Amino acid sequence: MRAVVMYAPGDVRVDETERPTIVEPTDAIVKLAATCICGSDLWPYRGADDVDHQPMGHEYVGVVEEIGSDVTSIALGDFVVGSFFSSDNTCEICRAGYQTHCVHRGPGAVPGAQAEYARIPLADGTLVATPAMPDEDLIPSLLAASDVLGTGWFAAVAAEAGPGKTVAVVGDGAVGLLGVLAAEQLGAERIIAMSRHPDRQALARDFGATDVVEERGAAGVQRVKELTGGLGAHSTIEAVGTQESMTQAIRATRAGGHVGYVGVSHDVSLPGEELFFSGVHLHGGPAPVRRFLPELVRLVWDREIDPGKVFDLTLPLERAAEGYQAMDERRATKVLLTF
Q: Which is nearer to its own copies, 75 or 255 (CB)?
A: 255
φ, ψ of residue 249 to 5 degrees: the values are -65, -45
| Beta partners for residue 244, in sequence order | none
* Identity of the residue numbered 67: I
Closest distance of CB 288 from its own copies, Å: 8
Q: Which is nearer to its own copies, 63 or 231 (CB)?
A: 231
Closest distance of CB 97 from its own copies, Å: 6
Q: Which is nearer to its own copies, 16 or 164 (CB)?
A: 164
Closest distance of CB 82 from its own copies, Å: 20
Closest distance of CB 198 from its own copies, Å: 30
Kindly list the distances between the CA atom of residue 95 and the CA atoms of 89, 261, 293, 295, in Å, as whole numbers in the listed order. 6, 22, 14, 16
Q: Which is nearer to its own copies, 201 or 247 (CB)?
A: 247
Closest distance of CB 169 from its own copies, Å: 18
Q: Which is nearer to its own copies, 95 or 197 (CB)?
A: 95
DSSP string, 138-151: GHHHHHHHTTHHHH
- CA–CA separation, 301 vs 278, rounded Å? 41
- Residues that bind its own copies in the complex, under the rule CB under 8 A: 92-93, 96-98, 100-101, 103, 229-231, 241, 243, 246, 254-256, 261, 264-273, 275-286
- CA–CA separation, 339 vs 35, rounded Å? 9
Closest distance of CB 207 from its own copies, Å: 25
Kindly list the distances between the CA atom of residue 100 and the CA atoms of 15, 123, 125, 133, 262, in Å, as whole numbers in the listed order. 29, 14, 11, 27, 13
Closest distance of CB 265 from its own copies, Å: 4
Nearest Cα to Cα of residue 174 among 39, 19, 23: 39
3-state secondary structure of 23: coil
- CA–CA separation, 154 vs 106, rounded Å? 21
Kindly list the distances between the CA atom of residue 81 and the CA atoms of 58, 111, 112, 182, 300, in Å, as whole numbers in the listed order. 11, 15, 15, 18, 12
* CA trace torsion 314, 129, 66, 30 (10° rounding): 20
Q: Which is nearer to its own copies, 271 or 294 (CB)?
A: 271
Q: Which is nearer to its own copies, 45 or 98 (CB)?
A: 98
Q: Which is nearer to its own copies, 218 or 255 (CB)?
A: 255
Closest distance of CB 166 from its own copies, Å: 11
Q: Cβ–Cβ contacts within 10 Å for residue 32, how many? A: 23
